Chains A and B, each alone.
Chain A
């Protein structure tokens, strides 16, 4: 079970993009069902499309459905801005906001709301791409520009329905995607088996828990925590580095790294700062974290991601 952020901690906001049929609804249904204690607010255009178990519904007021497991589904209605303001200012306690971006929306505009709102934390843009459809859609006269824009701003691209086409075709599509979204890590997923943990990452409290000194485990990979396709490296006892050094490390992470998060002591302030990487984008909090947070980084990636020793070298030696 994920620890809940304190009321003051910003609420992670993740944008789920992708065209019709890419598997967004399947993913959201799984998140709502297998939420392991995290209370998700799922904002969608039409929650009629979600497969909400009627037995779970606690309250339904027209634009919002509250579930017994603490999750809530909100209809975006006329204005996402209004719906988000209501959610953020409202009394309902949630741990994580997921916004479904329609296939023609610009996910960056949505994710940027979390950049300007201190009550929210930008937790990335995840774009789903159906391998059998994405290239045709990208050339579609009416929607091709929107489809390409979504890929271009994605932090992580998930290739879905890979089990429905020939492996060679998946490779071809991935080569093509590497041109549309050269910096975004790509994950292959069969329908209904999209890995949720690596996609949504850990919240700050969970990162702190992972980083608590655990001599028995030590530093290294603990792949058992995730599907075997994904690896995790935990880096503890990091040296003090400059902000520029840390930024260069984040910039230089390979596309096999999906997410990295943790607290690193900066030479400039002498205090720990939160580093977050989602796909190819990173941020380093300007304000220091509390002095007692455990120092270290949790790095999540695909099976071919660098090991902990390599990552440490990249941070220390450049």
Chain B
């Protein structure tokens, strides 16, 4: 038995299907696309309902975010105190905070809303990069509370600022002699704690609301944040996928109201290869149209701005020592071999160019030993790859998902501190990737940067940093290439391009509903195209519009 035919009329439909790139109507039945064209051509499907609600909107295929984390749903349990404005899952925009005083003011208001005098106040997203070198100190946060612990997580997630109560609770004093506890000229801890072990006692004595564990609420927040950006399919890269997590995924994605197709990737470093292969294989039996197990994530190095990425010679521009491997290369090689032999798809986190090189070596070895067609192994981030590495990717059939948002958020720091002005030009080299025929996606890594495929496309097209600097003019790509990357490009890296990523018959009726046509606006204004919401499986999910 088949359901009703609904024909959506739109001001314009950008299908991303070369055979019919533009249309005005799309017919949907049973959550899938019946046909695309005009009303006359679609009337051949018989009796239908004409739906005019998008008559003034532009439809695109629902965006596909190939690198994000459900952690996005955890951070929003606490106030956001970042430098840039940010949209929360409920559709409310939190204005950016450009000074420590502004951060303190927002925290004071959040503190006033807490009724239980004993609970700590946590906040996230703090980024003092444009505060003229002024660091936050405990005295700033003592203005928020002298009774309860106040803990502010930086945007990097690795640094904390805490108040005096929190320092006392954690037992951190002038005598605490470990790396990462910043001390002032008077020898007292300033309240800034950089990574473990400095941050350890805060989490141990005060708690950690950000500790990764998914719940129904956090998954919905994750999905709502994605919806607000026009995303209908997103990865949750890097999960241990224990039984409770899997159960939550299955229950929540089965709810009709859940507006997202989720692709959780198994974190290969959390288990032996043998256990991991068995786990992922077993999970594939649970796959549905909205939940897709099977992807395996391999963490290779750290982050460039945290100086933990592995760089080839000549290393970091500021002379910092090289970064760290998550596991010895030989162990990574064993994992690659095992998942390759099992026929599972791997996505590898590689930030620095030495990490990209190692992973290419390991994949090449595995593929030479046992060739495998259409593996779609994907290098994630891959921010420093040069043309030679892209040529190897092309030769091996390896895809790339570049972290284009870095150009805007950290491009200035990369030019000045981490890579230097020359290597920074090739940061997230989308044009070189396309030029060598490497399948390309681009991503945001939410919550590291916000969901926003049109913003990510804007970064790849314009390559402007926060200060407006044009970084790597030759690596700019066209708007249509960028739109392809955030739809079919990303779908390809997930082996979902036969189901999502374009508006064509047979695929899921997943749309991004936009207020303007991204091909009509000026390329510089691409990020300003407003998202009305999404359609997932034929069902509209508008962004809520809370009153300011």
B178 contacts which chain A residues (CB < 8 A)?
112, 115-116
B215 contacts which chain A residues (CB < 8 A)?
none
Q: Does B321 lie within 8 Å of A49, measured CB to CB?
A: no
**Residue tally, chain A, CB below 8 Å to B:** 36
Q: Does B197 lie within 8 Å of A115, measured CB to CB?
A: yes
Q: Does B203 lie within 8 Å of A81, measured CB to CB?
A: yes
Closest B residue to A118 using CB positions: B171
Interface mask (A28-64 → B, CB under 8 Å = 1, otherwise 0): 0000000000000000011011000000000000110
In the bound complex, how far is the Cα of B198 from the Cα of A105, in angstroms? 17
Given contacts A78-B270, A102-B327, contact A89 B197 (CB under 8 A): no
B354 contacts which chain A residues (CB < 8 A)?
142
Whether B179 sits at the interface, judged by CB under 8 Å, is yes
In the bound complex, how far is the Cα of B343 from the Cα of A141, in angstroms? 30
Q: Does A115 lie within 8 Å of B196, measured CB to CB?
A: no
Q: Does A45 lie within 8 Å of B200, measured CB to CB?
A: no
Q: Which of B171, B212, B267 contacts A116 (CB 8 A)?
A: B171
Q: Which of A19, A46, A62, A145 contacts B321 (CB 8 A)?
A: A145
Q: Which of B172, B212, B322, B330 contacts A78 (CB 8 A)?
A: B212
In the bound complex, how far is the Cα of B204 from the Cα of A291, in angstroms? 31
A81 contacts which chain B residues (CB < 8 A)?
196, 199-200, 203
Closest-CB distance, A140 to chain B (whole angstroms): 9
A146 contacts which chain B residues (CB < 8 A)?
324-325
B240 contacts which chain A residues (CB < 8 A)?
77-78
In the bound complex, how far is the Cα of B178 from the Cα of A113, in angstroms? 8
Whether B201 sits at the interface, judged by CB under 8 Å, is yes
Given contacts A62-B243, A112-B178, A112-B197, contact A117 B324 (CB under 8 A): no
Whether B395 sits at the interface, judged by CB under 8 Å, is no
Interface mask (A138-171 → B, CB under 8 Å = 1, otherwise 0): 0000110110000000000000000000000000
Closest A residue to B212 using CB positions: A78
Q: Does A113 lie within 8 Å of B197, measured CB to CB?
A: yes
B547 contacts which chain A residues (CB < 8 A)?
none
A145 contacts which chain B residues (CB < 8 A)?
321-322
Closest A residue to B313 using CB positions: A141
B310 contacts which chain A residues (CB < 8 A)?
142
In the bound complex, how far is the Cα of B172 from the Cα of A204, in angstroms? 25
In the bound complex, how far is the Cα of B242 from the Cα of A82, in angstroms? 15
Within 8 A of A (CB), among B270-298: 270-272, 274-275
Closest-CB distance, A77 to chain B (whole angstroms): 5
Within 8 A of B (CB), among A67-100: 75, 77-78, 80-82, 84-85, 88-89
**Majority secondary structure, B binding face:** loop
In the bound complex, how far is the Cα of B323 from the Cα of A144, in angstroms? 12
Given contacts A81-B196, A109-B197, contact A46 B328 (CB under 8 A): no
Q: Does B197 lie within 8 Å of A116, measured CB to CB?
A: yes
In the bound complex, how far is the Cα of B174 from the Cα of A286, in angstroms? 14
Closest-CB distance, A191 to chain B (whole angstroms): 19
A88 contacts which chain B residues (CB < 8 A)?
204
Q: Does B179 lie within 8 Å of A117, measured CB to CB?
A: no
Closest-CB distance, A32 to chain B (whole angstroms): 18
Within 8 A of A (CB), among B220-267: 238, 240, 242-243, 267
Q: Does A104 lie within 8 Å of B327, measured CB to CB?
A: yes
Whether A307 sits at the interface, judged by CB under 8 Å, is no
Q: Does B324 lie within 8 Å of A102, measured CB to CB?
A: no
A62 contacts which chain B residues (CB < 8 A)?
242-243
Whether B116 sits at the interface, judged by CB under 8 Å, is no
Q: Which of A20, A75, A106, A112 contacts B331 (CB 8 A)?
A: A20
In the bound complex, how far is the Cα of B310 from the Cα of A75, in angstroms? 25
Q: Which of B175, B201, B328 contacts A103 (CB 8 A)?
A: B328
Closest-CB distance, A49 to chain B (whole angstroms): 7
Closest B residue to A62 using CB positions: B242
A102 contacts which chain B residues (CB < 8 A)?
327-328, 331
Closest-CB distance, B355 to chain A (whole angstroms): 10
B325 contacts which chain A residues (CB < 8 A)?
104, 142-143, 146
Closest-CB distance, A300 to chain B (whole angstroms): 25
Whether B113 sits at the interface, judged by CB under 8 Å, is no
A112 contacts which chain B residues (CB < 8 A)?
178-179, 197
Q: Which of A48, A78, A105, A116 contacts B200 (CB 8 A)?
A: A116
Given contacts A85-B203, A109-B196, contact A142 B275 (CB under 8 A): no
In the bound complex, how far is the Cα of B323 from the Cα of A105, in angstroms? 11
Whether B134 sits at the interface, judged by CB under 8 Å, is no
Within 8 A of A (CB), among B307-346: 310, 321-322, 324-331
Closest-CB distance, B199 to chain A (whole angstroms): 8
A49 contacts which chain B residues (CB < 8 A)?
272
Nearest 9 CB-CB pairings of A with B? A48-B272, A112-B197, A112-B178, A104-B325, A113-B197, A103-B328, A46-B272, A81-B196, A77-B270
Which residues of A approach B to under 8 Å, CB–CB? 19-20, 45-46, 48-49, 62-63, 75, 77-78, 80-82, 84-85, 88-89, 102-106, 108-109, 112-113, 115-118, 142-143, 145-146, 286
- Beyond contacts A20-B328, A89-B204, A113-B200: 11 other A-B pairs, Cβ-Cβ < 8 A, are A45-B269, A48-B275, A75-B271, A77-B270, A78-B238, A82-B211, A102-B331, A103-B328, A104-B327, A117-B200, A286-B175
**A/B interface sample: 10 pairs, CB < 8 A:** A48-B274, A63-B242, A78-B212, A82-B211, A85-B204, A112-B179, A116-B197, A142-B310, A142-B325, A286-B175
